[in-house]
Amino acid sequence: MSRTRHSCAQLLILAVVVLLANCAFAVASAGQGAPADLPADCSAYASIPVPAEADHVPVPKTFPGCASYRSYRGIGRPVNYAEARACAWQERLAQKAELRQNENAPTAWVVGGSLILADIYFNGAGVKRNIPLAIRFACESEEGIAKLALPDIVKLNGSPPAHGPFEFCDYAVTTFTMNFCAEYQSEIADDSKRRYYNSLKSSMNPEQKAAFDKLLSAQKKYVTEHALEVDQGGTIRGIRTLGSEDILNDLFHAEVVHFERKEWPALSAHQVTTADALLRRQYEKTLQQIGTRPKGEIYEGAVTADHLADVEAKWETYRDAWVAFARLRYPASVAAIRAEITLRRYLLLKTIA
């Protein structure tokens, strides 16, 4: 390390504000900086200058609904980094003004503005990579995110990640931010699945396509209703619910992929013929277990018998839609597919009580 950098590091430790700012500007001028140039304290990045384009953005009166993260990752729209950045500058000002969440883009309240700008400038998405500036934005979003991410940033030694973009959301430390980041990742996964399903439709005749659309609609309603049978207690209820929903979405996606490859359920004849009875017994058992809990163990957010019945009704509609589609798309394997869908539900019910 040079004498100048060594002196800078010593002055950082002593927290001399003026020289700390000078050191931060030196880091910024390097563009991305070597690991030794990246202080661990967020205060070292507060004076990193933001691009001039940020100075021309008016302060919004309400939180924007443009959802920068969707333009950044191409969720439901083409990837457009310039559009993502223009939206993120507005969101950042709205975050600083503590404007209320936009119901049309609720995730952007956290996974927008400073947090997406951090990703954009770290990954060089439509801009020149600027790691110190990215860390400044990460610090603005949540100081813990920046501090937790810094060791991995140092290991990268100024290089981009080998597999996929760097995501500051991966370093969320509070349950509040973790909930929003989980929703963000869920949207990315759902959009990928949606693209796959749309691509399949090009190989379907009109009758198959109509049945598949009904299946997708029934599956979505079942997964949404499934939240009722997920324990809603505690601060991580959002993450718990999303995680459970993601499992169901992943299983459905895997089934469609396997069936399209003509990889049919590996079930015995006995499993196929007894699946309905097995599920029925487990459903009644789960209802009984929920209904016999002492009143002192029942709390707000707990799964109830009514919840279970509502979800079961949605699942039955989903199962019937699967069977209707299978008859048109995979007619030789309808019974096995019906049994597999039923056994998936049986296994899930065993986890509820």
Higher pLDDT, 300 or 120: 120
Q: Which amino acid makes up residue 269?
A: A
Q: Tell me the Ramachandran region of residue 124: left when phi exceeds 0, alpha when psi lies from -120 to 50, beta otherwise.
A: left
Average pLDDT, integer, range 284-291: 88
pTM, full prediction: 0.73
Percent of the chain past pLDDT 90, that is, above it, reads 71
What band does 296 get if pLDDT is binned at 50, 70 and 90? low
**Structural domain includes residue 138:** yes
176: in domain: no
Q: For the segment 230-242, what is each residue's pLDDT rounded down to a tens digit? A: 765 554 455 556 6
> Given 3-state DSSP classes, what are the helix, strand and coil percentages for the chain, each rounded to the nearest 5?
70, 0, 30
Residue 331: the pLDDT is: 97
Question: What total of structural domains would you count in the chain?
Answer: 2
Same domain for 215 and 333, yes or no, is: yes
Domain co-membership, 144 together with 208: no
- Asked whether residue 11 falls in the same domain as residue 157, the answer is yes
Residue 89 within a domain: yes
More confident residue, 300 or 114: 114
Domain boundary among 122, 152, 171: 171
Q: Which pLDDT score, from 0 to 100, does residue 229 have?
A: 85
Residues 197 and 187: their CA atoms lie apart, in Å, by 15
Decide which of 171, 186, 212 is a domain's last residue. 171
Q: Which percentage of the chain shows pLDDT scores above 70?
A: 84
Asked whether residue 227 falls in the same domain as residue 128, the answer is no
210, 164: one domain: no
For residue 279, which of 352, 333, 348 has the smallest C-alpha distance? 348
Inside any domain, residue 183: no
Q: Report the pLDDT value the prediction gives residue 32, as an integer from 0 to 100.
A: 46
Domain check: are 77 and 221 in the same one? no
pLDDT confidence tier of residue 37, bands split at 50, 70 and 90: confident
Average pLDDT over residues 167-174: 95
The confidence score (pLDDT) of residue 292 equals 73
Structural domain for 83, as ranges: 3-171
Is 18 a domain residue?
yes
- Among residues 151, 171, 191, the one where a domain terminates is 171
DSSP designation for 99:
P
pLDDT at 302: 74
> Which residues have CB under 8 Å from 120's CB, separation 6+?
72, 81, 84, 85, 88, 126, 127, 134
Residue 11 has pLDDT above 50, yes or no: no
Residue 217 sits in the same domain as residue 80: no
Same domain, 167 and 207: no
- The reply to whether 99 and 209 lie within a common domain is no
Residue 193 resides in a domain: no
- Higher-pLDDT residue of 24, 191: 191
Same domain (yes/no): 222, 345: yes
Chain-wide mean pLDDT for the chain?
86
Q: Which residue has the higher pLDDT, 19 or 31?
A: 31
Residue at 317 is within a domain: yes
Q: Write down the pLDDT at residue 70.
A: 97
Residue-wise pLDDT for 85-115, tens only, equals 999 999 999 999 999 999 999 999 999 999 9
12 and 79 in one domain?
A: yes
State how far the Cα of 113 lies from the Cα of 64, in Å rounded to an integer: 10
Question: Does residue 343 register a pLDDT over 80?
Answer: yes
Cα–Cα distance measured from residue 301 to residue 241, given in angstroms and rounded to the nearest whole number: 12
- Higher-scoring residue by pLDDT: 26, 261: 261
Domain-located, residue 177: no
| Co-location of 167 and 283 in the same domain | no
The encoded tokens of residue 60 equal 């919004």
